[in-house]
């Protein structure tokens, strides 16, 4: 999927990405269109801050795991324990093994990241009931510099007929690119972390670029009930966020 997406070495390297988290046969090509953008300067990125919505275990705020390593068939990824400790003072950040144990919205991204990056540390946050401001405050603390990549995990609409989904998702993407932090969970299952990123982006003059927009009817599956996927990149202004 990464090979099919290709690599444009002249393209800007994103500071943040919105990437889908369904099974690879469905959303993998869309995710690859985002991750392929990292290949040109993969060695620069030494830390990935990964936020995804909880699907199975409710949690108030943003949940860190208690683990120090995440493992995949491609190897171990050490967690950024120092950054995790730096978030401990924020009241909206908790530790919840229960929230992470069955959650796919974070882990599905790890093989992509391991394929395109060199060695990196991971800061994973499972996002539950939180305000956009609470998410943005976490991002503010861990935003970092060129060494840090922010990844927000979210699909778009769920189980609409193909034509309805296309129109719905186009409207949603228009709002995201316009940095409008008011998405509902019917528009994007990861609306909470997405709205947090958009709140931060609007306050720091970030620029958004649509990389890909498709649904499961385009990739694999029938068109009677589809799930939407997008890949969107965010770039800092010259000199860093304002």
Beta strands in the chain (DSSP E): 16-19, 47-53, 62-64, 69-72, 75-78, 93-95, 121-127, 148-153, 158-160, 207-215, 226-235
HSE toward the beta carbon, residue 43, CA cutoff 13 A: 0
Structure tokens at 167: 């129109």
Report residue 10: phi and psi, to 5°: -90, -10
- Cα-Cα-Cα-Cα torsion 181, 105, 163, 222, nearest 10 degrees, comes to 180
| pLDDT digits 0-9 by tens, 48-100 | 999 999 999 999 999 999 999 999 999 999 999 999 999 988 999 999 999 99
pLDDT beneath 50, residues of the chain = none
97 φ, ψ (degrees, to nearest 5):
-65, -35
Question: Percentages helix, strand, coil for the chain, rounded to the nearest 5?
Answer: 35, 25, 35
Domain ranges of the chain: 14-223
- Element spanning 99, H or E: helix 97-100
pLDDT of residue 240: 65
Quote the DSSP letter at residue 90.
S
CA–CA separation, 60 and 39 (whole Å): 35
Q: Which CATH number fits domain 14-223: 3.20.20.70, 3.40.830.10, 3.40.50.1100, 2.40.110.10?
A: 3.40.830.10
* Three-class SS state of 71: strand
> Read out DSSP for 101-167?
TT-HHHHTTHHHHHHH-SS-EEEEEEE-B--HHHHHHHHHHH--STTEEEEEE----EEE-HHHHHH
Q: What is the pLDDT of residue 128?
A: 98
Burial class of 236 by CB neighbour count within 10 A (0 to 12, 13 to 18, 19+) = buried
């Amino acid at each position: 999927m990464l090979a099919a997406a290709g690599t444009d070495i002249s393209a800007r390297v994103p500071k943040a990405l919105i990437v889908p988290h369904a099974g690879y046969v469905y959303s993998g090509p869309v995710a690859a269109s985002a991750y392929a953008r990292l290949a040109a300067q993969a060695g620069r990125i030494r830390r990935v801050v990964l936020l995804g919505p909880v699907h199975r275990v409710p949690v108030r705020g943003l949940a860190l795991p208690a683990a120090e390593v995440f493992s995949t068939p491609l190897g171990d990824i050490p967690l950024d324990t120092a950054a995790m400790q730096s978030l401990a003072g924020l009241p909206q950040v908790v530790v919840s093994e229960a929230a992470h144990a069955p959650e796919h919205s974070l882990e599905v991204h790890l093989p992509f990241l391991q394929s395109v990056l060199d060695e990196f540390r991971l800061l994973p946050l499972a996002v539950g009931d939180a305000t956009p401001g609470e998410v943005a405050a976490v991002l503010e603390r861990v935003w970092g510099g060129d060494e840090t990549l922010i990844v927000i995990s979210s699909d778009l609409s769920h189980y609409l007929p193909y034509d309805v989904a296309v129109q719905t998702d186009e409207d949603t993407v228009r709002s995201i690119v316009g940095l409008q932090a008011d998405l509902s969970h019917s528009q994007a299952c990861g609306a909470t972390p997405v709205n947090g990123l958009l709140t931060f982006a609007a306050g720091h003059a970030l620029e958004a670029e649509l990389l890909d927009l498709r649904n499961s009817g385009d990739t694999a599956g029938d068109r009677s009930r589809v799930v939407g996927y997008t890949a969107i990149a965010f770039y800092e202004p010259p000199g860093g966020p304002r």
